[in-house]
Amino acid sequence: MDYLPPASVRVIPQREALGLLAILAVGIVLFAANAQHGAAVVALFASVLAVGWMAAATVITHICGTHELVLKAPEMHADFHALSGFRIQVHVGNTGRRWPALFVTARLHTVAEGVELRSPPVFVAQLAPRATSLFSWYITVRKRGACELRGVRVQACFPGSLGAHEAHFPFSNRLLALPAAYRLDNRALELLSGRRRAAGRTSTAPASMEDFIGVRDYRPGDNPRNIHLALSLRMADFPYQLAVREFEDPTMDDVCVVLDTVIPVTESKDNEILYQHEKSLSFAIALCRLLSERQYFVRFRAVDAAGWIDITITRPTRDIPILEARLARLRPISNAEPVQKLLDQVSTRGNDAILFISLGETSSFSARSRRSVYTVSPGVQTRLVREVVGA
């Protein structure tokens, strides 16, 4: 992307300098009233020096201001996780041939879910003619959802100046803050103890060669006999990167993760409930990731204000980002009936074990079938989270 000129340049009065100028004016008036006193003479002399300094600083600010500056906007395309910081960098250049830009300060304008985030100012004492400088911010968004970079304001002001030159460089870069990334303890697999053998698949071996469906990257736990040697030899990072044959499993949905998304209207302003809702989102994603890495076929189900969510995770590198992006936009519902209907549906169909990620320690939902639904309460979720990545 090329360097962009400022959309506007304006002069911002400096309140501190104007206040000092008013004090000096009062000093001059007092001198006129008490011209015979030595203290008044000293005050007049100091006032003349201060006024001269402010006049010179104002002229320097006008000459070495921001009207010759250009900016290269950041190029960001990848989404990021809440609580995990990401770096934003812009390049500011001075197109002037004679005068440098002095005492330059840049501020980034960022909006997350309609709330403006205050970024710390980045300061450079001098930006020489025909030179560029890198301005960098490390941003941490605490809430999932839409995030937008709306521009940068660059200000130049020599100390003591009555006004500062400010250049506005607007641009728009939309990103998505994904739910916070959790890393779970391996004890989370104990949630399936006794359930996978009773309801899920019991063998990972294909019934016949007709079950072959394709090739994918090797994951820890894959059977070495399924390595596709011819394709593995062609990979750039061989032998650290391998390809394995993938076979269709007749019991594909052997684990079903159901997320509780019900927040009653009476509790919609309860910060503790809202916080637990965010934690449950992150826990559900981390659980799906852990199970899929351990060779389980996972189906995620939920319902929100936008409709039903049904994502089957067969390839984590492809499907987990899809799940994260969908849950980044999830909005809770106030009616419990759709979630109860969803639980009834998943508990009467298929052979998969069901894990219900609840928002309460005691769930008010029940599965109207003989098949059990294991409820993962907030207390259990907290014990199984090993760390929050990037927090």
Per-residue model confidence (pLDDT) at position 372? 67
Does residue 132 carry a pLDDT above 90?
yes
Instruction: Give the pLDDT confidence of 41-61 residue by residue, as tens digits.
Output: 666 666 677 777 888 888 999
Residue with the larger pLDDT of the pair 14 and 370: 14
pLDDT in tens, 98-108: 999 999 999 99
Round the average pLDDT of the chain to a whole number and report it: 81
Q: What separation in angstroms does the CA of 73 have from each of 36, 65, 87, 134?
A: 61, 20, 13, 11
Q: Which residue has the tokens 């909006």?
A: 111
Specify the 3-state DSSP secondary structure of 135. strand
Confidence check: pLDDT of 212 > 80: no
Cis peptide before 239 (omega within 30 of 0): yes
Kindly indicate the confidence band of residue 168, based on its pLDDT and cuts at 50, 70 and 90. Answer: very high
> Given this model, what pLDDT does residue 250 score?
44
Is it the case that residue 195 has pLDDT exceeding 70?
Answer: no
- Tell me what percent of the residues of the chain surpass a pLDDT of 90: 29
116, 191, 366 from 346: Cα distances, Å: 41, 18, 12
Q: What is the pLDDT of residue 386?
A: 83
CA 373 to chain centre: 33
Comparing 166 with 254, which gets the higher pLDDT?
A: 166
pLDDT for the residue numbered 208: 41
Minimal CA–CA distance to 171: which of 66, 65, 71? 71
CA distances from 177 to 69, 81, 299 (A): 31, 5, 23
pLDDT score of 316 = 87
Architecture per CATH, 1-178? Sandwich (2.60)
For the ranges 109-113, 162-166, 250-254, 324-328, the maximum mean pLDDT occurs at 324-328
| Average pLDDT score over residue span 285-306 | 90
In sequence order, what DSSP letters do the residues of 373-391 get, joined into one string?
A: -EEE-HHHHHHHEEEETT-
Query: What band does 245 get if pLDDT is binned at 50, 70 and 90?
Result: confident
Sequence ranges of the domains in the chain: 1-178, 182-204+250-388, 205-248
Q: What's the pLDDT at 83?
A: 85
Mean local confidence (pLDDT), 56-76: 89
In whole angstroms, give the CA distance from residue 184 to residue 381: 9
3-class SS of residue 141: coil
Per-residue pLDDT at 223 exceeds 80? no
Q: Does 351 score more than 90 pLDDT?
A: no
**What is the pLDDT at residue 123?**
94
Q: Identify the pLDDT of residue 162.
A: 81
- Selected residue with higher pLDDT from 358 and 254: 358
Q: How many CA atoms lie within 13 A of 258 on its CB side?
A: 25
Rounded Cα distance between 362 and 359, Å, is: 9
pLDDT of 129 over the 70 cut = yes
> What is the reported pTM?
0.71
pLDDT digit string (tens) for 321-337?
Answer: 999 999 999 999 998 89
| Other Cβ atoms within 10 Å of 388 Cβ, number | 17
Res 125: pLDDT = 92
Poorest-pLDDT segment among 120-134, 138-152, 247-261: 247-261
What does the pLDDT read at residue 287?
Answer: 93
The answer to whether 262 and 335 are in contact (CB under 8 A) is yes
Q: b/e per residue, 29-53, with b = 16+ CB within 10 A?
A: ebbeeeeeeeebeebbeebeebeeb
Specify the long-range contacts of residues 11-14, CB closer than 8 Å, at least 24 apart.
11/163, 11/164, 11/165, 11/166, 12/155, 12/163, 12/164, 12/165, 12/166, 13/162, 13/163, 14/157, 14/161, 14/162, 14/163, 14/164
* Assigned token pair, 239: 């032998």
In percent, the amount of the chain with pLDDT more than 70 equals: 79
